[in-house]
Structures are given as C-alpha cells and as structure tokens.
Amino acid sequence: MSGQPTRAGWALPAPASWRTWFGFIRRPALPDRADTRIAPGFAAVLKLFALDIAFMAVLLGSLALAVQIGFDMPEHMLDELALSAPLIALIVIGAPVGEEIAFRGWLSGRPGHLLATPLLFVALLALLGAAAPFGGESEGAMPLMIVAAVAALAAVAALFLLRKRNAVRWFQRHFAWFFWVSAIAFAAVHLTNFATAGPAMLPLVLPQLMLALLLGYLRVTHGLWSAVLLHILHNGLFISLVLASSSGGS
C-alpha cells in the first residue's frame, strides 16, 4: 500500500502530491498543458502549503538556533516599516500576483504566456510609476496609465489569439534550466530584503528558494492561479507571525 513499508523497500510516508513534487524536483519536466480545474488545483495547493509550513518550520528553527549560538542576523526591511493595512495588502496580495507573473507567468512555455508575461510586467511597472509622484506633476501619470492600458490589452490579445498553442519544443527541451533559473532568481531577489547582501546571506533566502520550487511546480501542473494562491497563503502566514511577534513583544 502506498505510504507503507514494503519488502522491496520503504515507500515515502507522505501524501501522493508530496511524492509527485519530490519526483518533479529531481527531474523537472514540462507538460503540454496544466490541469487548471479548481478542485484538484485547490487540493494540491492545500497539501503543498502543509509541506511549505514544514519547510519553514525547519528553516526558521535552524535560523533561530544560529542566532542562539551567536549568529548576528542582518536587519530586515520590515524592521523599519510600520505594517499598515495598505502595506499588508501589498505584501499578502500585491507581491504574490506581481511576482508570480514576473517569475512564473512564462514558465508554461506556451507562446501566449511567453509574450504576455513581459507585457503584463510592463503594465504593472507603468501602474506603479503612475501611482508614485512623477516629476512633481500629477499630470505626468497619464502617459504611464496609457502605457499600462496598451500593454495590458496587448497581453490579453496574445493570450486569446495563442490560447490553443502548446508549449514550444525548445522550451520543453530546456525546461529544467528555466525552472531552476526562475527559482534561484526569485530567491536571489529577496536578498534585497536585508540591509546587508552578499554570498554569506544566501542561507537566509533558503525559505524563498523552497517556496519557489513549490510555486513553479504548481504553476506548470495546475496553472498560474494555484501558484498565486499558495504564494498568498505563504505571505499571509508570514505576516501573521510578524504581527503576533510584534504584539507579543510590546
């Protein structure tokens, strides 16, 4: 029986989705299409969220032990920020949506997604620029809003017109490289969360690397929405722990 010791060896006592994920990580392979049905995708998200929690417990526990034996943790950007409602919404919802588009929107290898991802990223950057002061003049935001609208419409057109195309063959052949580059880049970007950056800080972004491996798997097997959902759950748990820690210490 699956998950039980056998005479031939020891089957990993874990949910099937965990075993499937471990097998995928050992040998990443891109399917032609993701199974985007809500029920199986949601079930996979919940099971991998449990695995994510287990990873975080081990990694954060290891960091706590390192602090106890004298490791000096660098300052984190959240240490200097007041967690207002807009900032929490940005971390829990805005960041997962933007980061999943940028780091994994294209990971399906399908032509529509390969074209739409950079267009959506341009639209997002333009919207962020329009929301910030532009040269001290509020009317300067209008050109950026136009850029955002045009880029978004072009992305929608690419997704619609190329919706029946499967992943391109060259992307499928080299998918393992794209998968690992996406995960490592995602983790490396989070080094900017710390006041000090450098090779010695790499262990501090191991949680982000493990999360990226879960998110990349979900993206290609159940669609981008499932990766966004797990990312939201992860960030929501993280912020909840930060809020609980700050309230407990006050």
Instruction: Give tens-digit pLDDT for 55-68.
Output: 989 988 887 787 78
Mean of pLDDT values over 9-31? 80
Sorted by sequence, the CB contacts under 8 Å of residue 71 that are 6+ apart come out as 63
The secondary structure of 9-71 as a DSSP string is EE---S-HHHHHHHHHHHS----SS----HHHHHHHHHHHHHHHHHHHHHHHHHHHHHHHTT-
Chain-wide mean pLDDT for the chain? 85
CA distance 241 to 235: 10
Closest among 229, 220, 210 to 97, alpha carbons compared = 229
Confidence of residue 32 (pLDDT cuts 50, 70, 90): confident
Provide the whole-model pTM.
Answer: 0.85
Q: Which residue has the higher pLDDT, 100 or 125?
A: 100
Confidence of residue 13 (pLDDT cuts 50, 70, 90): low
Q: Tens digit of pLDDT for each residue in 175-232?
A: 999 999 999 999 999 888 877 766 667 778 899 999 999 999 999 999 999 999 999 9
Given a cut of 90, whether residue 75 has pLDDT beyond it is: no
Confidence of residue 47 (pLDDT cuts 50, 70, 90): very high
